[in-house]
Amino acid sequence: MQHKVLAGLDRKEAEVYRQLDPGRLPKHIAIIMDGNGRWAKRRHMPRVAGHRAGVAAVRSTVETAARIGIHAITLYAFSEENWKRPQSEIDFLMRLLSRYLKAEVPTLNKNNIRLEYIGRQHELPEDVQDRMEWARASTAHNTGTVLTLALNYSARSELVDAFRSMVNAASQNGGVEHLRIDEETVANHLYTRHLPDPDLVVRTSGEMRLSNFLLWQLAYAEIYVTSTLWPDFRGFHLLEAIAQYQKRERRYGGLNHGDAHAEPAKVLK
């Protein structure tokens, strides 16, 4: 199996992949794609050039994730806050999304990748919604990596929508006085209820923020920040992030084996 994976990677990717433990890959990786504007500015180009260049990063990253067997990858593509940008930039991003979906469906199918979305999709332009639904239906039969695009997404809005969904469900099943609220119930009403919580979140461009992205789901995720700007990010960089992830010990608030036998901490009086 490992030989088959290596055959699909380029030389730099293969060098990093050989250092990985295939049995300890993260099941779900979330990525905050940041730095398109700075990438363009450094080259004295308009911001939209950075967005256009970012498409190659998406393609390389997603294909590498699929080749090594990552179950799910979620990309923060357009936040609710992005509506504050100039209208010309928003219009370009919507056209770019539509073109990306049309162009990439054959590649997604070739790599057995299924496409999904999270966010308030109904607020996007109707022609974009139509293209999104076409792309989703065109990849629905695939059984490999699930690629989720967060579009018009806000973690706080997701939680609001989850609570509304819980109340609506309760009102149809005996009334809100029977509403049961616990972590499992909330999780089952999130946009991502069909996915495991991310094990690893990657942020490009060196910024140290979650930017209202998957706040509930990232509670126990490992955070990896790279100074690489998104248009320069490739599958090789994703593998480097996974290598760092595998060096960490995930305790979920508990103790590792060595700590379990350590002397109890003294209480100050």
* Dihedrals phi, psi of 141, to nearest 5 degrees: -80, -10
**CA neighbor of 231 nearest in space, from 44, 30, 50, 60:** 50
188 is catalytic: no
The secondary structure of 165-185 as a DSSP string is HHHHHHHTTT-GGG---SHHH
197 is catalytic: no
Q: Are 195 and 74 within 8 A, CB to CB?
A: yes
Looking at residue 268, the DSSP 8-state letter turns out to be: P
3-state class (DSSP) for residue 79? strand
Please give the structure tokens belonging to residue 237: 């960089």
**How many separate helices (H) and strands (E) can be counted in the chain?**
10, 6
Alpha carbon distances (Å) from 13 to 16, 18, 113, 142, 165: 5, 9, 20, 25, 43
**Residue type at position 80:** E
CA–CA gap between residue 45 and residue 28 (Å, rounded): 34
**CA neighbor of 242 nearest in space, from 26, 3, 64, 68:** 26
Given the residues 34, 111, 142, 199, select the one marked as catalytic. Answer: 34
Given the residues 10, 36, 82, 197, select the one marked as catalytic. Answer: 82
DSSP3 helix / strand / coil % (the chain, rounded to 5)? 50, 15, 35
Beta-ladder partners of 222: 200
| Residue numbers annotated as active site | 34, 82
